[in-house]
Homo-oligomer: A and B are copies of this chain.
């Protein structure tokens, strides 16, 4: 067996080896070795954690326990204190720290080493009973809930009752006596719950605490977090444990504790940013239990310390070349740096700091690009409140995570998750959030808390998941039992709608209109750098002139997919489309199509004007035509309603008038009913457009039934329609060429690319190509203008993949329609799969992802690679792209770059993400592998 070194002192650990020491541990080592004032301590490695977890039994085992003891002995030497020694008691903290930062995901226990004896000793030493019992009650509560698995709420309730008894508003208002009473009650609770007294032996405390941290790696919270952020064992496996000498920010008014960022993590501004509390422990800041002061106030409170902090700030940034998030404590006038890590920032702050650092000469453009994960840009695409909306602010809190969101109030994370699954938009409203609320963050549109600052749990997590958050909105009082909250005097029940603006901290009653986000200048700079680095082009999927404009604005260098059917679905066109479908023969159909043609031509023309000089790929009609008709069910219900009404009305009017004389009451009832029904009939008639009410509907039902299909996804659609109803495609092709001719005549430049959907064999392409060449010739002649064009196909049918070598004989370009191709490859109908079995499949890891969101590289991707190989054997350097939904997702883009595609096309708001992802793909191509 290999003998591993499981423990490293801060002086000896390798600051680069995060995998072994965890991010926090490596940093503590690095900081120590940098000469910063880090309290002495040591790290137990992630390997020790894995070894512990692998053995599947309780207890650290004698070897590790022994290693810890000897490290503690060294610590005793360095600090000149003794662990469990009442004369000069050494207290330590135990903190988890994995290779990847997982904020709030894992556990920390403070003040280990306290027991009856050392409490007495420490009181003797400091003369401060209040301070010592405060430490002790924290130890008991944290240890009990983390190491002994007790319910934290019971401690909170006891503490709450004591504060009430003593008339204390804040923790700090409690005196030593009250805190002693708290400790006694806490110790009683532990005894009562576990059947055993709270452990007095400091080493028992320490061993159990280390074990609890090890175990927390496989706890639900941590596992969920890793799942959500796709943290694999390659990236982080096991947690290290950091054991560090305690220093105290709560030993009097020359003490303080705080967190700080070397730059403002919300805006990216290059200014020192942070919060602190005098006479408090670090947990008070992080958990947001008390509202702290801004760091600037420290200049007044402790001017010397503030200067030291400023120095620390610059030392750290020079060393790490990233914005740092640090924790500090001032113990009796001495500053300690407890922790530093790369700051979590929202996208715009990260972009700003990265660009600033390039300008400051700290990092390169490539480094700046790689620092911004493409997915983060989604935050920048979050809607903002419409500034035109005239709304009154209900309350004001802290602007903790930018963006605006509306939703129904819910008071706990479980309910947030439940309602979100039903498709409801919710805002999670809590006093403060805790790590076990993480699923509520994923489910909610935004988070609102009544307590806690900008570095509270709620704020940090919300920023990292890109959700809007308003924290510390003290105007809120929550009544959990009644499931209601009073906000500035207004009573809001669970389910009532509010709006929060995480960029201003404002809270509004009801839904406030939002607007699309505007591009920040910094992002433009970053994306231009990105474009220079990447090989893959980014185009937009856009069907209307509006969407096309948006795509262009977001930097798309062409339209990769213009779905012509979307143009059919507009209110002025749908009736014509329906008429076309109902046409009895191709002549009648042609006549209707002639009326549709100008609409399509004008759309295309507008699009060509916007995209002048850029490629525009136009896909011919794809969905089954019955999609443009009402459903059979809908029509049948209407017909039945109509018939029933008519029949009843007829039956009733048959009633003899004489009934009135015989039984006036019955007669009146009849008349009232009759009136009701006649009104119903009129209402139905209003909803109807033309022709006799029932008969025309029955005709329509017949048509709908004739067009209905068992599996419409695999039915009469795409090129199959184009071949059976040649007049439809002909109209579309003509509209494209006429629009292009007019655009060119007006001095523009355009080479429209006609793309045929659902192709499974070269013959289909040939068929359509015949129309195309014929119509092209005619239009060129009619306009007297040369119209260049390209002809290609979607690849979304598996057979087309198999025939790619032949198809490439005629197709000048191909575009993978990965939505349909994924359906065909998996034989999953998206609608059915996502409702019925896919969630279970993902939950049970039968499939790692939903393949409709994340391109399935092992299956669909492999098929695409084969296809490209065959296609480019026939037509080398053929333009190949992807226009499915996955085309806007970084992992898929990385794959597309790797297999040498020409472009990706995605929805306009994803274009910036794709541009950045394309640069990442290029910069990181050496690391990529397909297993």
Contact = CB atoms under 8 A, between A and B. Distances in A.
Interface of A: 640, 644, 651, 654, 656, 658-659, 662-663, 666, 709-716, 720, 723-724, 758, 760-761, 763-764, 767, 796-799, 802-803, 820, 823-829, 831-833, 836-837, 840-841, 844-847, 856, 858-860, 862-863, 866
B802 A825 contact: yes
Contact of A724 (B712, B823, B837): B837
13 contacts: A656-B666, A658-B663, A659-B659, A713-B827, A714-B714, A716-B833, A723-B841, A723-B846, A724-B840, A760-B859, A763-B847, A798-B827, A799-B826
Contact of A662 (B644, B662, B758, B798): B662
A231 to B, nearest CB: 20
A831 B656 CA distance: 54
B837 A723 contact: yes
Nearest to A766: B846
Contacts of A724: 836-837, 840
Contacts of A709: 829, 831-832, 836
Nearest to A796: B827
A761 B847 contact: yes
Nearest to A760: B826
A713 B716 contact: no
A731 B761 CA distance: 43
A827 B862 CA distance: 18
A799 B662 CA distance: 77
Given A710-B712, A713-B714, 11 more contacts: A662-B662, A710-B832, A711-B831, A724-B837, A763-B845, A798-B824, A798-B825, A799-B826, A802-B858, A802-B863, A803-B858
A802 B767 CA distance: 31
B715 A836 contact: yes
Nearest to A710: B831
Nearest to A709: B832
* Residue of A710, A840, A846, A866 contacting most chain B CB atoms (<10 Å): A846
Given A709-B832, A847-B763, A859-B760, A714 B802 contact: no
B846 A761 contact: yes
A519 to B, nearest CB: 38
A797 B826 CA distance: 6
A798 B801 CA distance: 11
* Residue of A651, A666, A826 contacting most chain B CB atoms (<10 Å): A826
A862 B802 contact: yes
A710 B859 CA distance: 24
A829 B710 contact: yes
Contacts of A720: 836-837, 841
* Residue of A640, A654, A716, A840 contacting most chain B CB atoms (<10 Å): A716
A828 B798 contact: no
A833 B715 CA distance: 6
A762 to B, nearest CB: 9
Contact of A840 (B663, B710, B723, B856): B723
B859 A802 contact: yes
A753 to B, nearest CB: 23
Contacts of A711: 711-714, 829, 831-832
Nearest to A637: B636
Contacts of A832: 709-712, 714-716
A558 B379 CA distance: 61
A798 B761 contact: no
A831 B709 CA distance: 8
A214 to B, nearest CB: 28
B716 A836 contact: yes
